[in-house]
Structure 1
């Protein structure tokens, strides 16, 4: 169990966190940690795949590393969710904001591999988010939010701890990810935190 690792993908909206997590899931068979929510399932969302859909009471039965209330619903990632994913594989993934990534680093120590994803030019992020079909007004609100601005830079608590990955060019990003995953799986720790 102590050799189990969770690859925590963090950074601002639009940097490619979900794409990176999906790449790790598809190419390295790393299951995604399923998180919990009290919000109602959307059409086609399946319990235990999209989220663990909880009632207010059942939500409180889990032991959370981090949790938040957003738009009246509770969301959280739990030790139970981690354990279920680790039963499938020694290496798993989760996408978190930087506040969640700090918590994972503090709570899980060396079992949490933190990858902070960024881009060279922040204006690229607005374009990326709009391309994926998000409402332009909502995009403007999101990129002006304190959470977006917070997630744009590597938090002090993760300096020297997180691997920084500049995702300007997807083919270069995949090469850097492959090197990192191979080193972690072979018990090596990359000496340099900037993945170049």
Structure 2
């Protein structure tokens, strides 16, 4: 039997305002497909107790991080509270070459940078919306983790984040977790099967034609 061609890995970008369900969808995707690689971020902040280099973060000093940015080694980066954070390019390229997909849990700015990067043609972006602003507020409060001030800040930021919904390939309204995940899984499955994600497909079809000639 002729061997099926290896497909090229894709970059799956998930974004949403805080509380809309991005992290929940990311965890479910990882449980659904253990071959899916989660993008480990790089940072200039110091490791916290129990954190390991290359597992929780790639830890860099400021100069080495900037060096990676200047040489195209980061797909996206940003400064948060005085520390730099970003997505290293090399591990993503290795995963792509092996036919593995990489999952990015990033905000709209990170997603925009990834789509505009050298690997952007292989990016698939999904934005997750809440069913209503009232429900978004309820979800943030139900966590029981944040003060009123923090919740107010997250709600204020969500308006700007939601305004970027039209920049994404797909938009899902997370009205019910199971149904939303089913739709997300369908997106990933369809994107994996696209013709242009299978670089060996032309050779595979030629091999089929050769089989005709030998019958």
TM-score (norm 2): 0.76
Bigger relative contact order, structure 1 or 2, given CA contacts below 8 A and separation 6+? Answer: 2
State the superposition RMSD in angstroms.
2.3
Structure 2 match to 1:58: 64
Deviation track 1:104-163 (CA, whole Å, cap 9, x = no partner) reads 222233310100110120222222223233322212122223xx322123345x1xx510
Structure 2 match to 1:165: 172
Partner of 1:60, secondary structure, is: helix
Q: Which moved more, 1:163-172 or 1:178-187?
A: 178-187
Q: Which moved more, 1:42-51 or 1:24-33?
A: 42-51
Structure 1 match to 2:116: 106
Query: Within 1, Cα distance between the matches of 2:88 and 2:97?
Result: 14
Q: Does 1:97 align with 2:114?
A: no
CA pair 132-101 structure 1, distance change in 2 beyond 3 A: same
Query: Within 2, Cα distance between the matches of 1:133 and 1:172?
Result: 25
Q: What is the deviation of 1:53?
A: 1.2
**Unaligned segments of structure 1, at least 5 residues:** 190-196
2:39 to 33, 37, 40: 33
Structure with the larger helix share: 2
Structure 2 match to 1:68: 78
Q: What is the deviation of 1:88?
A: 6.5
Larger Rg: 2
TM-score (norm 1): 0.83
How many residue pairs were aligned?
A: 184
Query: Within 1, Cα distance between the matches of 2:84 and 2:195?
Result: 38
In the TM superposition, 1:153-192 aligns within 5 A as 153-156=163-166, 158=167, 161-187=168-194
2:55 to 26, 49, 55: 49
CA pair 60-2 structure 1, distance change in 2 beyond 3 A: farther
Query: Within 2, Cα distance between the matches of 1:143 and 1:88?
Result: 40
Q: What is the deviation of 1:64?
A: 1.8
Q: Which moved more, 1:134-143 or 1:69-78?
A: 134-143
Q: What is the deviation of 1:74?
A: 0.8
Q: Does 1:6 align with 2:19?
A: no
